[in-house]
Structure 1
Amino acid sequence: MAVSLPWYAIAQDTAAAPQPTDADERVVLEADYVYEIRDENQLVAEGNVEALYQGRILRADKLVYDRSTEKVRATGNVIIIDETGAQQFADEVEVDSTLSDGYAIGFSARLEGDATVAANSAIRQSDGVNALDQVVYTACPVCEEDKTPTWAVRARRAVLDQESQMISYRDAVIEVAGIPVFYFPFLAHPDPSSERRSGLLIPSAGNSSKLGWFYQQPYYWAVSDSTDITIAPMVTQNVNPLLELDLRKRFYSGSINFNTSFTNEQDFDSDGELFGEEKLRGHIYGSGLFAINNEWKWGFGVEHQSDDLYDRRYDIDGQDEKRGLYSSQPRRLLSQIFAMGQGESYYSDVALLKFQGLRSSDDDGELPTALPVFFSEKYWDLGKMGYASVNASSAILSRDLGADSHRVSFGADWSDLNVLPGGFTFEQFAEVRADYYRLDEDVSGEEDASRIVGNVGGKLAYPMIRPGEMVDIMIEPAVMAAWGPSNVNDDVIPIEDSLLFESDASSLFDPNGFGAYDLYEGDGKLSAGITARTLWKNGMDFSTTVGKRWRSRPDDSFDGISNLDGTSSDWIIAATANFGPQLKIDTRARLDEDGFSLNRIDTKITSNFKRFRGVAQYYKVDERIATTGRADEGIYVRGELRVTDQYSIIAGQLRDIEDNLNARQEYGIAFEDDCSRFELVYQRTELIDRTLGPEESIQFRFFLKSIGNFGSSEFD
């Protein structure tokens, strides 16, 4: 039976009811049976009851409407669905005629993200506030067979504010598998449907041999729709407190991001022993990027810290992140401001660079300041005549200690690719560049130096393709020949950008095998190699390049690392085997030209197959081409094996084979389900950096869906 009447006019006989005057003030009621108890002035609906009012729906086994009090009491499998689609459940409820204000017994609600909150009783107000008593909250699926979720927040009282989208608890206990783990006198977090908002974040606490017992409590401040700040003070047992700040802000044309910390303290070693002068110490890492117009952008990156070991003493991450146009080297900080533009036929960038060294051998006075580094290129499509470009670049480097150097370069390139009879391809090319160096006469003995370099030549290739039903095979042998002026590398020219350059497969067929400016490969040179690729229809892919380079005469400016010393290079090998997510192998290798002994190899294997995911990397460098002057060999492995659907084993190790040392190792177990992840991991590193020595830790960390990441306890 269904009726569509105001609450005050509901009756069994719908034909006798007055016609509705305002649909918004009416309730649509459906039930198997509807009858009236006149003595008590009540209307009763039983059996599959459903009441609809202004988008809100109430379902129950039985509903009683009291005309005198205008209250609705529903019992038996009660469900209330509001305008947003959120569902609330109860054994019994009493609400007003608008289905909003009231109380519930045996209350529960299903929130976004499959989160559930349940309480013995609840009082609902018209402003969307639910006051709950004896509360349990979890984001884990709750099954009838197992009513104990992986984790839950159990509290004496709570408030679910649908207007502010916050859940606040009093006397809250976080339970894991039904076992109490953490107690909070007060705890609050947004409900899963909430946007960002201010409030306390999950703290981190633990014990370290450097810091002693420590506790860090972050506070997230949503300043505005475009700005937020995280304030994270840390108090420790062994040293003075530290304050860490994170700032993020969006603008109409871009954004900025800063991380900084500061404290007033002495230096300390791995055992927490203080020494030296007490002073203000800290760090700042920041970046920003802004659009000037559709083609031009400008930005900046800031990296600075008061002490070489500040980040390692306080375990501050982020030193290796890229914060601008240029990337820094390990244990070198780089601050920069830059602009770059790119259109259909040009590219330009300019940057100011400042370095800070964190290595024990670094002297900041010897590190250069670039004022500025500049590059610009303009190119043209000449149609049948090929492609041409002109470019200009500069590097103005100054030092407080050591030699300054100023370089300005102008160049031009031309290339033309043609298909010859029989399927051969022939690429003609020519390049020329003029360099001018203004030198530090006190160091180099010369006031300036200039040169003109260039190359002219061609590349002949024969691409062969054999398509098949299951696999396509492509093979391309190629030969490149080029000639350039001799004796172009003057000893007075400082080598700033080519110290660690190594010619590999990516530059095998380049006329100038040296990809930087301060050194240039002139003379006659010849490259030969073959590239093969096999592509299966199911997505598997295998490719490899093997080649070698010859020179007409040796150039003493090139060292063994560059692979351009002497008159012939090592054999160059690059190979990739991609079998999909299950297995991928990347290998780069150099084989000695005499006897094919292995001079360098770097192989990386990644796998994500069924219950296993991991990465393995093996490297070996012969002492002849090692930057340190001694051989280096090692292997790094890290993987996670899912033993069951929920439990995994974690293992990792960096083995220094040359020194017979486990440089870093990691072992642990993990538990993961739909709503959480728990890890217990032991780590040890043998890193020694001045006053900081080997460290080991036991870390326990976990993630709870809809609440966040919890910290870990560490024992160094």
Structure 2
Amino acid sequence: MTGLQQPLRQGRAPRGAAVLARAASLLLVLVLAVMPARATAQSTPEFATLIADRLFIDGATRLVAEGNVEALFGTTRLQARRVIYDRATGALSVEGPMVLNDGRDVIMLADAAELSDGMRRGLIRSARVVFDEQLQIAAATVERLDERFTEMTAVVASSCEICATRPTPLWEIRARRVVHDDEARQVYFENAQFRLFGLPVLYVPRLRVPDPRLERATGFLSPRFTVNTGHGIGLRTPYFIVLSQSRDLTLTPFVSNRGTRALELRYRQAFATGLLELGGTVARDPIRPGETRGMGYATGDFALGRNTRLSFNLIQPSDRSFLEDYGRDQPRLTSDITLERITRDTRQRLQLLQFRSLRLGDVNARLPNQVGQAVLEHRRDVPGLGGVAGLRLETEFLRRRLMLPGSEAMPGVNADRPRQMGRVSLDLDWRRDAVLPGGVLGAVGLHLGLDHFRLSDTGGAFGAQVSRVTPNVMAELRWPLLRSDSDGVRHVIEPVAQVIWGRDRMAGVPVEAGRMPEFDEGNLFSLNRFPGAEIREAGLRANLGATWTRHDPEGWTSTLTLGRIWRQRDLGQFSAATPLSGGSSNWLLAGSLDMMDGLSLSNRSHFTSDFKLERTAFELDWATETYSISTSYMRILANPFEERAATASEWSFEGTRQLSEYWTGRVGWRYDIAQSRAARALVGFNYQNECLRVEMGLERQFASATTPAARTSFGLNLDILGIGGNPSRARRMCSDL
């Protein structure tokens, strides 16, 4: 039995439904289009329009139409050489060649048809159906037994192009006899046979499948083959079970020649206000002999009304390597439950999170595994004074099982971190922008940050309670300059000067989320560059920079940003290895280039005062009709405070190339330049014509922080196109036509 797996409640035909289900059953349903759904009281065909070269009455009861006959039955159009209707017997005879188009991208061609009993019974000879210009189905005879059952004989179906020089399609389905039950919407096959390149590969003596109108049905989905170091040769065979219109269950057994026995489960349910999905895997394998391994997950998203949403994403594996062993490589896992409400000027969020690291060097007992957070944000215009005022109230609680001693301490920042920390923060800010004489844009702003910390099990590194007040005053000037050349090129240069005053005094607090501050063109002109509120940027400082943008009429654009931060006094808030440390930060140089032909370049680099490169990130993407390239390079210095023990330097590459009309090759790698070793490599090929898609790839994952041993895997996927929700690609014309 073949299953059709659909998105719950609505959606198109499923990708990967089995071949036999869709092929022959399409024809059976289309046959009904030959017969109008209703007949008159005298069993007269309801021709909306009947056109012919000759139309005459033969005797008392026979109506004859000859020569280029065209009849319309609502949305169904029938074309034939000759049509004879006998009112006395209710018989309708159609002499071909006949063409039937039901108005839904379905075309039937046949030699002749004999219909009777008010169109409830009939026989169609040598029928051929083309569904959506993709699937072709042929049958020697199609007989309508009654209003419920239709029988077909000698059925052949395929979505492959068939030409005089290529009479054998890549794949086809043959069946001796097929019966369609219109009431139950089921199709029954006898002696069904699936062939590849003309050779039989699968034989099923009796088979029951749903007809195409039944969007959801229980049955098998397309299998997947894998070959890898851990499992050997493996096979996944999903089985889809319809529980109701809004619920389904998928069971996927996974077996391999090395002894892996696993079962994957996925349960989905649709509600009027959201979706729920539960799943997991239970396995015993040779990777960890004698152990029962597994994982479970739950996801959901619900609209609760009044602009409020509840969502959750929970995942829990049995061990560090399980997800990678079963094709889900994730170095860190984040589970969350979030309740959020967003209106025009207000945002409210309540969130519970759990973190778990799968990296070999991380000790989960020392990570803040449990985090709770509540946030209220509100903004509004200020009457009289002008500008926009904002309020942010945030509470956060985190807990770890063990206290984590720090590896590096800085003035005002204690690197030790306690087992538990609770924080309440209130941010009040106001900003007003104005246009000054000469086109200069000016802005002033005020900010006040209030924080209160409650700490437990600190080991003497912190007090039990810490409070902090952080005021800031900001003034900013921007002067956008525009120039247009005679050739249509436009240049926009915008120098920016921003001065911020903040208190120099800092309170010693633990640092959690703020240990890895970024410095880029997005936060160059910001009050605070720390990602978390445990630590706030302080002191008198100036953010200076300029941006140049060039717009070319030929369709390409380039941008360049240069900036730096100067401080009146170095407060030691940033560790020495970061580009933000010292009395003045590193120089930030960032640029991008976007071309009409699909080429895009971007680079962000940090230079010291003597122009020594410390950090850089480069990315190139280029996509055309025949190939695509994506490559990147990054280099970051070691920083113990950010828990980076060694300098990181890596080059990655992904590329595809269309080798011919049907073949596409792909190659990729990730190379660790700092350690002079490969981290990942892959090579693969895809084949796709109008009716078949084959994907194969070989991947080598070298030993890393998350993988103690190297792994090699080979994947092979085969999809039949033109049926089961897999649309076929455009057909080429037969060269011999």
TM-score bracket for this pair, using the shorter chain length: 0.7 to 0.9
Which residue of the partner structure matches residue 375 of structure 2? 375
Q: Aligned in 2, Cα 1:55/1:389: closer, same or farther, shift over 3 Å?
A: closer
Which whole-Å deviations, capped at 9, do the CAs of 1:171-223 have from their partners, x for residues lacking one? 54544555555555666776666633332211224444423443322122233
Q: Is the contact made by 2:266 and 2:280 (CA closer than 8 Å) also made in structure 1?
A: yes
The worse-fitting range, judged by mean Cα deviation, of 76-85 and 679-688 is 76-85
Q: For 2:229 and 2:207, how far apart are their aligned partners in 1? A: 30
**Which stretch of structure 1 is more off in the superposition, 89-98 or 169-178?**
169-178
1:589 aligned counterpart, secondary structure: strand
Q: How many residues align?
A: 667
**Cα distance in structure 2, aligned partners of 1:447 and 1:634:** 43
For 1:68 and 1:500, the matched residues in 2 are separated by 89
Distance change >3 Å, CA 53–CA 414, structure 1 → 2: closer
CA contact (8 A) 2:302 2:309 kept: yes
Contact persistence 2:355–2:370 (CA under 8 A): no
Distance (Å, rounded) in 2 between the aligned partners of 1:117 and 1:141: 12
Contact preservation (8 Å) 2:62, 2:85: yes
Contact kept, 8 Å, 2:651 with 2:671, in 1: the verdict is yes
3-state SS in 1 of match to 2:522: helix
Give, in angstroms, the shift of residue 418 of structure 1: 1.6
The C-alpha deviation readout for 1:330-364, integer Å capped at 9, x for no partner, is 52222222211222222221211222332223333
Counterpart check, 1:332 vs 2:349: no
User: Any conservation in 2 of the 1:555–1:565 contact (CA below 8 Å)?
Assistant: no
For residues 688 and 417 of structure 1, the distance between their equivalents in structure 2, rounded to whole angstroms, comes to 50
Match of 1:466 in 2: 483
Contact 1:481-1:511 within 8 A present in 2 as well: no
- Please give the per-residue CA displacement for 1:291-343, whole angstroms capped at 9, x wherever unaligned: 2223322222211112222212233x3x6xxxxxxxxxx52222222211222
Q: Which runs of 5+ in 2 are unaligned?
A: 1-39, 404-418, 728-737
Q: Would you say 1:423 and 2:414 are equivalent positions?
A: no
Paired AA for residue 331 in structure 1: P
* Map of 1:104 onto structure 2: 124
Letter in 2 for 1:74: V
Q: Note the alpha carbon deviations across 1:5-44, whole angstroms, 9 max, x for none.
A: xxxxxxxxxxxxxxx98796556765445678879x9776
Kept in 2, the 8 Å contact 1:202–1:709? The answer is no
Amino acid at match of 1:304: Q
Q: Deviations over 1:413-439 (max 9, x none)?
A: 111112111111121112111111111
Partner of 2:566: 550
Shift of 1:530: 0.7
Q: For residue 272 of structure 2, what is the aligned residue in structure 1?
A: 252
Instruction: Determine what percentage of the aligned residue pairs are the same residue.
Output: 26
- Residue of structure 2 in register with 1:283 after alignment: 295
* CA distance in structure 1 between the partners assigned to 2:607 and 2:184 by the alignment: 66
Residue 607 of structure 1 corresponds to 622
Partner SS, residue 422 of structure 1: helix
Q: Normalising by structure 2, report the TM-score.
A: 0.82
Whole-Å Cα distance in 2 between the matches of residues 166 and 572 of structure 1? 67
Q: Does residue 617 of the first structure (1) align with residue 618 of the second (2)?
A: no
Shift of 1:151: 3.9
Distance 1:472 1:185 in 2: 72
1:394 and 1:406 in contact (8 A); partners too:
yes
CA contact (8 A) 1:587 1:604 kept: yes
Q: In the TM superposition, what are the counterparts of 1:214-613 in structure 2 within 5 Å?
A: 214-239=234-259, 241-263=261-283, 265=284, 268-269=286-287, 274-275=288-289, 278-279=291-292, 281-315=293-327, 317=328, 330-370=330-370, 372-382=372-382, 385-402=386-403, 403-443=419-459, 444-467=461-484, 470-490=488-508, 493-537=509-553, 539-560=555-576, 562-580=578-596, 582-594=598-610, 596-613=611-628
Deviates more, 1:167-176 or 1:611-620: 167-176
Tell whether the 8 Å contact from 1:115 to 1:192 is kept in structure 2 after alignment.
no
Instruction: For residues 353-382 of structure 1, give each alpha carbon's deviation from its aligned partner in whole angstroms, at most 9, with x where no partner exists.
Output: 222332223333323244521221222212
Asked if 1 retains the 8 angstrom alpha-carbon contact of 2:512 and 2:532, the reply is no
Distance in 2 (alpha carbons) for counterparts of 1:690 and 1:536: 46
| Cα pair 1:87 1:111 within 8 Å, conserved | yes
Structure 2: distance between partners of 1:172 and 1:597 = 72
* Pair 386,445 (structure 1): closer, same or farther in 2 beyond 3 Å: closer
Q: Which runs of 5+ in 1 are unaligned?
A: 1-19, 320-329, 711-716
Query: C-alpha deviations, 1:473-507, integer Å up to 9, x for none?
Result: 211011111121113151xx111111222222211
Which has the larger displacement, 124-133 or 21-30?
Answer: 21-30
| Correspondence for 1:652 | 668
Q: Deviations over 1:579-628 (max 9, x none)?
A: 2462122222222332x222222222222213112311222223469853
Q: How far off its partner does 1:681 sit?
A: 2.2
Give the superposed CA RMSD.
3.4
Deviations 1:127-156 (A, max 9, x none): 465433332223345567755445433444
Which amino acid in the other structure matches residue 303 of structure 2? A
Partner secondary structure for residue 540 of structure 2 = strand
What are the Cα deviations for residues 54-77 of structure 1, in whole angstroms up to 9, with x where unaligned? 765543324455678654443331
**Structure 2 counterpart of 1:424, which letter?**
V
1:87 Cα deviation after fit: 3.1
- State the alpha-carbon separation in 1 of the partners of residues 132 and 182 from structure 2: 12
Post-superposition offset of 1:522: 0.8
Higher relative contact order (CA 8 A, sep 6+): 2
2:156 alignment partner in structure 1: 136
* Cα distance, 1:529 vs structure 2: 0.8
Cα contact 1:542–1:578 (8 A) shared by 2: yes
Letter in 2 for 1:295: N
1:351 to 1:143, Cα distance in 2 relative to 1, 3 A: same
Deviations 1:75-99 (A, max 9, x none): 3312344586743222233222544
- Checking the alignment, whether the CA contact within 8 Å between 1:378 and 1:389 is kept in structure 2 is yes
Residue identity in the other structure for 2:622: S
Q: Is the 8 A contact 2:105 2:133 kept in 1?
A: no
Change (3 A) 1:417 1:282: same
1:262-294: per-residue Cα shift (whole Å, max 9, x none)? Answer: 24x3x743xxxx44x544x32122221222223
| CA distance in 2: counterparts of 1:193 and 1:629, whole angstroms | 60
